[in-house]
Structure 1
Amino acid sequence: MNNNTTQLLIIPGLGGSGENHWQSFWSNKYENVTRINQEDWNQPNLENWLMELNNTIVKLNCPIILVAHSLAVSLVLHWTEIHSNSNIKGALLVAPADVDSPIHTPEILRGFAKMPTSKLPFPSIVVASENDDYVSLERAQYFAEKWGSDFINIGLKGHVNAESKLEFWEEGQIILQKLIQTTNQ
């Protein structure tokens, strides 16, 4: 694919964002979507996941907005520490899983620790919930500050996943549009 149409690159976290997840609803709604497909969604391996993310970004060869959820937020940050690609125009970083915290995340995610805290080289928005079991609101806000991201508290939405029953998550679509407008300036 080689065109100027901005692609939304949907990047699920642990488990792969099933059919009732807002990422799946968006994948079905938007025509300009590419979705990462990891070999094993339940046994995350940072090296393998990074390779798949980078290969997908290179193949797209067009403007890209990253749409990452949970563990995929850490993946995006690790990717930016070792790769760069001028096609990345922005990132929507939703419900970052605190991979450094055994209190908030399962041991299987420790391979993605330590969470990178470098400033991102493109515009980004961190979206967090007040009652997310995978990250405290304060920690999500800390990450946003370190990454140079805008921060949006969406209230009591859990882990902003399928259990949150957001379906098309219209509020998230508005936030995404805000990010896209920022990247077009």
Structure 2
Amino acid sequence: MKISEADVLILPGLGSAGPSHWQTRWAERLPYAAIVEQADWDEPELDDWVDTIEQAIIMATRPVVLVAHSLACIAVAHTASRLADTKVRGAFLVAPPDVELHPDVPEATWPFRPIPRDPLPFPSMLVASSNDPFCTIDRAVEFATCWGSDFHQAGEAGHINLASGHGPWPEGLLMFTRLMQRLKA
């Protein structure tokens, strides 16, 4: 599938994505991409986030590919049970936080516990860092295995956000392109 054949729904994590974050840049650069706006970025409620993601998918007019960062990855896993027969063709999941076991995840993420372990009903790729401050690489591998996601280790890339030096993140765009090539329209 070509990127131009899909509606790319960009799902930021806790606090949203700032103007220089790679997700914001992708939304500006990709012609059929849009950031899905949540009602509350700082004190998220799981049901609200899941409903918002589901509504964005329903409103899309073409096949959908999700691009989730951080807490939005966990929200996608929670939403997945509602997405078995929808137009979602794939998901690109970046730096999921371990909201269950990691001691440094913000308390605001706790409502997203427990993390679903069911396979996602669409192809996906999970990208994780070996020094993410919110998730060990072993737990990221566990999530990828449970969700049936292809796994890509991004090296020492922190939380793969602006704070870790990932503004434009061209390597991520290449990985996303590889996922898109695997998807069917």
Report the TM range for the smaller structure's normalisation: over 0.9
Letter in 2 for 1:42: D
Q: Secondary structure at the match of 1:130?
A: coil
Query: Aligned equivalents of 1:31 and 1:165: distance in 2?
Result: 25
TM-score by length of 2: 0.94
Which runs of no fewer than 5 residues in structure 1 stay unpaired? none
95-104 vs 72-81, greater mean Cα deviation: 95-104
Alpha-carbon shift at residue 102 of structure 1 (Å): 4.5
Letter in 2 for 1:130: S
Letter in 1 for 2:30: Y
Letter in 2 for 1:94: V
2:24 counterpart of 1:24: yes
Alpha-carbon shift at residue 162 of structure 1 (Å): 1.1
Alignment of structure 1 residues 1-185 onto 2, 5 Å: 5-184=5-184
Query: Aligned equivalents of 1:72 and 1:87: distance in 2?
Result: 19
1:20-56 Cα shifts (integer Å, max 9, x gaps): 2110111111111021101110011001111111111
Query: Aligned equivalents of 2:182 and 2:89: distance in 1?
Result: 9
Alpha-carbon shift at residue 10 of structure 1 (Å): 0.1
69-78 vs 16-25, greater mean Cα deviation: 16-25
Query: Aligned equivalents of 1:83 and 1:184: distance in 2?
Result: 16
Q: Return closer, same or farther for 1:61/1:31 CA change in 2, 3 Å cut-off.
A: same
Contact 1:10 1:66 in 2 (8 A): yes
Alpha-carbon RMSD across the aligned residues, in angstroms, is 1.4
Contact 1:9 1:67 in 2 (8 A): yes
Contact 2:24 2:35 in 1 (8 A): no
Query: Aligned equivalents of 1:83 and 1:5: distance in 2?
Result: 19
1:143-181 Cα shifts (integer Å, max 9, x gaps): 101111110001011000111222221111111011101
Structure 1 runs (4+) greater than 6 angstroms displaced: none
Alpha-carbon shift at residue 101 of structure 1 (Å): 1.9
Letter in 1 for 2:162: A
Aligned positions, number: 182
Query: Aligned equivalents of 2:179 and 2:24: distance in 1?
Result: 20
Letter in 1 for 2:177: Q
Which runs of no fewer than 5 residues in structure 2 stay unpaired? none
